[in-house]
Copies of this chain bind each other. A is one copy, B any other.
Amino acid sequence: HKPMRFKVTAMSQSKSHWASINEDLVTHLKHSIPIRPPLVVFEPMHHLTFAAPETTAPALCIAACELVGGRREEAMAAASALHLIHAAYYAHEHLPLTDRARPKPKINHAFGPNIELLTGDGLVPFGFELLARSNDLTAQDNSDKILRVITEIARAAGPQGVIDGQYCNFLYTQSNWKDSSQVEMIKRVSEKKEGELHACAAACGAIVGGGSEEEIEKLRKYGLYVGMIKGMLYGIGRNYEKCLVKEEVDKLRTLALNELRDFNNGVELEAISSLVEAELCNA
């Protein structure tokens, strides 16, 4: 069965493509956040940056940049900022506050809550600093592109994006939802949390990679669907029966792949589309 074998090869190529993207990203982050004085600040920063579980948004940003013909390093600052914001919010989501139940799953805290709160507060501006300074690293002036990316990331990370999703998530855990509205709530939280972040990540990758406005918008939508699938399967949706959201996930997968129809650069396209294919294998 030759076609089958080709499929397997493509899948494993995609896997190694993602692995190489993530490796480069980690190298870049380690370089950007060295353990340097003041140690009392940079040690917890370094630790919490890598303590957060990997999220696909930064890698998607890089993959989208490559898909539109950009070079990997052009997306590195935006991908790093996205990871730092994710790490900051992850730390804050797991803070023991007096008015909420101990976060689950229980995670290992290397530092006290006060330091983790402060470190999260430090990671966000640090991400924007990396991004704003990235203009000085290139020969040409990209300030317009970078300002656009800052606007995109700030909006997705802010009160109309991830923060809105976290509010909804919080309200959700406080109330009892009937079965009929449960899927809607899971969908809404996933759209705002993982969805907005992945949409922004893919759009930013396309922006820095020099994609056309049409490509940027297609990749934004692709990212939105990818993020929503992630949220519905592994985010807020992870505590529910997979069959509850299966129908929605199937619809989103079709919508996602539709957005990629007009792209046709072999390896990059295989890699990026494998994001939603792999999801479904697990579901």
Q: Which residue of B lies closest to A158 (CB)?
A: B125
Q: Given the complex of chains A and B, what is the CA–CA distance between A83 and B100 in angstroms?
A: 28
0 or 1 for each of A103-144: is its CB under 8 Å from B? (1 = yes)? 000000000111101111111111011001101000001011
- Using known A-B contacts A126-B159, A132-B147, determine if residue A118 contacts B167 with beta carbons closer than 8 Å: yes
Q: Does A154 contact B (CB under 8 A)?
A: yes
Q: Does A96 contact B (CB under 8 A)?
A: yes
0 or 1 for each of A145-170: is its CB under 8 Å from B? (1 = yes)? 01110110111011110011011101
Interface range, A side: 35 or more
Q: Does A171 contact B (CB under 8 A)?
A: yes
Assess whether B167 is in contact with A154, with CB atoms less than 8 Å apart: no
Q: Which of A112, A115, A120, A121 is the most central at the interface, judged by chain B CB atoms within 10 Å of its CB?
A: A121
**Majority-rule SS of A interface residues:** helix
Copies in the complex: 2
Residues 56-97 of A contacting B (Cβ, < 8 Å) = 85, 88-89, 92, 95-97
Q: Which of B117, B119, B163 contacts A97 (CB 8 A)?
A: B117
A92: B residues at CB distance < 8 A: 117-118, 121
A100: B residues at CB distance < 8 A: 113-114
Q: Given the complex of chains A and B, what is the CA–CA distance between A98 and B114 in angstroms?
A: 9
A129: B residues at CB distance < 8 A: 150-151, 154-155, 158
Assess whether B125 is in contact with A41, with CB atoms less than 8 Å apart: no
Q: Does A271 contact B (CB under 8 A)?
A: no
Q: Does A256 contact B (CB under 8 A)?
A: no
Cβ contacts A to B, 8 pairs, < 8 Å: A40-B171, A42-B159, A89-B121, A98-B113, A114-B170, A122-B158, A128-B128, A132-B151
Q: Which 7 A/B pairs are nearest by Cβ-Cβ distance? A: A129-B154, A122-B163, A125-B158, A122-B159, A143-B143, A132-B150, A125-B154
